[in-house]
Amino acid sequence: MSVSAFEKNIYNTHLRVSRSHKNKPWRPRENFDKISPVEEELLKKISNILSSKNIQADLYFKAPYDLWKDKDYYPLEYFGKFKAVKAYNLWIEKLFIEEPDNEVVVNMVKEGFLFIFKRCKENNLKSIESYFKLQSYYPEFLIALSEKQINYYNILPINNYDTLLKQYPKEDIDFIVSGFYNNINTLRTRYYRTEKLKKLNEKIITKLNKILNYGSI
């Protein structure tokens, strides 16, 4: 086996996050020729977690430090376990509820709209809103939400996003995205109270709609 560029980045991102948390300098590792088989296997496991769950490495490693303040170091081994994924999910959920204007949330929303924009281009759609009418067996945006390609704050700015959902039993919707209705109802209140996210979303949608219609701004 060999260490891929992505796996090297995982190693160095963990090193950077853990050292920076302690306000200590760090230097990226460049030579991986003598990495142990155990470490190599661990990097591949973490790589699979990040890829399959669409998680950014720096956020994954940062999550437990921000969520809990009682430990100052989490070894690489920790992040190959389910509890690290759980910590990440708890942290993101906490940010979405308590700090929707947080830079982490805002960047995730931007990434979500980029995904939607690309899907609009691929399907020759002329507006971001039109994406929310795409469906195969189920609405595409619901599947994208379940795969973490988009998030609730990409959905809430859209008028009548639930038009397609009304065609399906609520238990089907909650099967695809656990707790969908409870989550979106909770976050709707937070969204309309945001200082910058709501305005930013409006600007993003307007800008992307112009590009979809005219090819430029």
pLDDT tens digits for 39-72?
Answer: 999 999 999 999 999 999 999 999 999 999 888 9
Q: Tell me, what's the pLDDT at 56?
A: 95
CA distance to 48, 152, 165, 185, 206, per residue, from 138 (Å): 27, 17, 8, 21, 27
Average pLDDT over residues 163-177: 89
- Choose between 166 and 107: higher pLDDT: 107
How high does pLDDT run on average in the chain?
94
**CA-closest candidate to residue 73, choices 7, 23, 6, 30:** 23
Cα-to-chain-centroid distance, residue 60: 10
pLDDT at 205 over 80: yes
Q: Tell me, what's the pLDDT at 146?
A: 95
Average pLDDT over residues 75-96: 96
Number of H helices and E strands in the chain, helices first, is 11, 0
In a 3-state reduction of DSSP, which class is residue 187?
helix
**CA-closest candidate to residue 138, choices 164, 158, 171, 102:** 164
Average pLDDT over residues 96-115: 97
Q: Tell me, what's the pLDDT at 216?
A: 64
Average pLDDT over residues 125-150: 94
pLDDT at 103 over 80: yes
Average pLDDT over residues 144-165: 92
Q: Is the CB of residue 104 less than 8 Å from the CB of residue 159?
A: no
**pLDDT category of residue 133 using cuts at 50, 70 and 90:** very high
Which residues have a Cβ under 8 Å from the Cβ of 209 and sit 6 or more positions away?
A: 126, 127, 128
Distance CA 56, CA 10 (A): 10
pLDDT at 217 over 60: no
